[in-house]
């Protein structure tokens, strides 16, 4: 029976190599490695390209190894559904973070639910802190978001030239901005 391993990172700047190395360092021989890079943890496991591909290849009775519980799903419900689907196929799921624990046993299910709930709470708290920080920055008058490519004077010129008959495309080329930006400035998107 083959051993499958799965890794996931949220941004393209990160790599799953550390997760793979962590699994191999625990003495597991990986027959098939699947990794989703640049895929947010908010995406349900079944909608991740490589995870879905892996589900199509792993056979009943084989083994899946992940480094951490949150690699298996976005929240307690998603993790639970993923584990349940694996258990129905007699696929052993090993989460290095938990040690050698059968996640389909009553004790394993309890541990799984508790850890998934804690991970979900941590994500919610992170979002809450981020929102509070953004609100504070706005209250302090800081401008959030991407800096504009045009200044007030350029925007006035664009509006004037558009009224005089200049095309959206030519204005976009001349000012080095997208057609959508020109349309937003001129009110053509309204």
pLDDT-derived band at 84, boundaries 50, 70, 90: confident
Which residues, including other chains, have CB under 8 Å from residue 111's CB and lie 6 or more apart? Answer: 98, 101, 103
pLDDT tens readout for residues 19-69: 999 999 999 999 999 999 888 878 888 899 999 999 999 999 999 999 988
- The domain 3-120: what is its CATH number? 3.40.50.1390
Q: What is the pLDDT of residue 190?
A: 57
| Distance between first and last Cα of the chain | 60
Mean pLDDT of 105-132: 83
Question: For residue 162, what are the β-bridge partners?
Answer: none
Task: Break the chain into its structural domains and give their ranges.
Answer: 3-120, 152-186
Indicate if 10 belongs to the active site: yes
Q: What is the pTM of this model?
A: 0.61
Count of positions (residues) in the chain: 190
Q: Please, which pLDDT band fits residue 172 given cuts at 50, 70 and 90?
A: very high
**Quick one: which H or E segment has residue 24?**
helix 17-25
Q: Which H or E element spans position 49?
A: helix 49-57
Contact assessment for residue 5 and residue 23, using Cβ atoms and an 8 Å cutoff = yes
Q: Which of 10, 46, 88, 190 is catalytic?
A: 10
User: Taking the CB of residue 82, how many other CB atoms lie within 10 A of it?
Assistant: 22
Among 5-14, 103-112, 129-138, the least confident range: 103-112
Cβ–Cβ under 8 Å, residues 95 and 72: yes
Write the pLDDT tens digit of every residue in 129-168.
999 999 999 999 998 888 888 999 999 999 999 999 999 9
pLDDT higher than threshold 80 for residue 75: no
Q: How many CB atoms lie within 10 A of CB 64?
A: 25
């Amino acid at each position: 029976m083959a051993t499958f391993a799965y890794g996931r990172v949220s941004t393209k700047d990160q790599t799953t190599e550390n997760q793979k190395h962590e699994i191999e360092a625990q003495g597991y021989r990986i027959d098939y490695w699947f990794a989703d890079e640049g895929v947010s943890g908010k995406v349900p496991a079944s909608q991740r390209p490589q995870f879905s591909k892996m589900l199509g290849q792993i056979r009943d009775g084989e083994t899946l190894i992940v480094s951490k519980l949150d690699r298996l799903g976005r929240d307690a419900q998603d993790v639970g559904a993923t584990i349940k689907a694996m258990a129905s196929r007699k696929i052993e799921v090993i989460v290095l973070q938990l040690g050698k624990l059968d996640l389909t046993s009553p004790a394993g299910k309890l541990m799984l639910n508790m850890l998934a709930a804690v991970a979900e709470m941590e994500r919610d708290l992170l979002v809450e802190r981020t929102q509070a920080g953004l609100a504070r920055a706005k209250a302090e008058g800081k401008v959030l978001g991407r800096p504009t490519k045009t200044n007030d004077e350029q925007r006035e010129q664009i509006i004037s030239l558009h009224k005089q008959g200049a095309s959206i495309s030519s204005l976009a080329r001349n000012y080095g901005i997208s057609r959508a930006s020109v349309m937003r400035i001129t009110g053509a998107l309204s």
